[in-house]
Amino acid sequence: MKVTDDFLTGQHFPNLISLLTKRLMYQLPGNSAHLRMASKIRLQEFKFEYDISTAISSGVLILLYPHEARINTVFILRQTYNGVHSGQVSFPGGRVEDTDKTIIDTALRESSEEVNIDPNHVTIIGKMTDMYIPPSNYLVTPVLAYASSRPDFKPDPAEVAEIIEADIRFLFDETLRKEKTLHVRGTQIFAPCFEVNGFTIWGATAMILSELKDIIESID
């Protein structure tokens, strides 16, 4: 479908959720969408057959919610630390713990811990395509969900430098999709990215967003 600004506003939120719920029952865009937002290094990695049997399972939450006549989602700016994803913008989420029964439980628990999203106020729409991230050996499952109102966000200062809320219409604004040279762990990486509220979203998060964009565009 042709996505209009009007469709992605709060008044159409129930309709969007209903359509997304049906859409996720069918084949997803997967890597064809991921590749469009992959860096040159990531494109090279796609050529290899990785053994993911020892990959660390993790779940991230893509939460949609209406707020001030908009449909928003939330990201976190990770704290700076000695790790692969230091200082990056990502969805709330993290690795599976022994107490998690499913990957959905992981995404909900991590989101509660990192930004205070109450799992009791979240309804799951479905899972999107898994993504393997070679530098961290993470196998990430994006969990798409919604809340009927804006959560009472509170960052965990140990992990979250800033909470970033964004109107999902940014996905369809071509002026916000750019390609730029990024400085990552002492290396220059040329990558597609989204510029949102002054933040640069690239890498796995941008690739997941690319699939979400394709899913929304493909709903009837």
| Reported pTM | 0.93
- DSSP β-bridge partners for residue 127: 143
Helix (H) or strand (E) holding 124: strand 123-127
SS (H, E, C) 20-47: HHHHCCCCCCCHHHHHHHCCHHHHHHCC
Q: Rounded to whole angstroms, how far apart are CA atoms 60 and 133? A: 13
Give the position of tokens 């964004």: 166
Topology classification of domain 10-174+203-214:
Nucleoside Triphosphate Pyrophosphohydrolase (3.90.79)
Q: End-to-end CA distance of the chain: give it in Å, rounded.
A: 6
Do residues 202 and 26 touch, judged by C-beta distance below 8 A?
no
For the chain, the domains span 10-174+203-214
The amino acid that residue 60 corresponds to is V
How would you write the pLDDT of the chain (220 residues) with one tens digit per residue?
678 878 899 999 999 999 999 999 999 999 999 999 988 777 776 666 778 889 999 999 999 999 999 999 999 999 986 655 567 999 999 999 999 999 999 999 999 999 999 999 999 999 999 999 988 899 999 999 999 999 999 999 999 999 999 999 999 999 999 998 887 766 788 889 999 999 999 999 999 999 999 999 999 7
The amino acid that residue 62 corresponds to is I
Alpha helices in 74-190 (DSSP H): 103-115
Nearest to 102 by CA among 127, 136, 122: 127
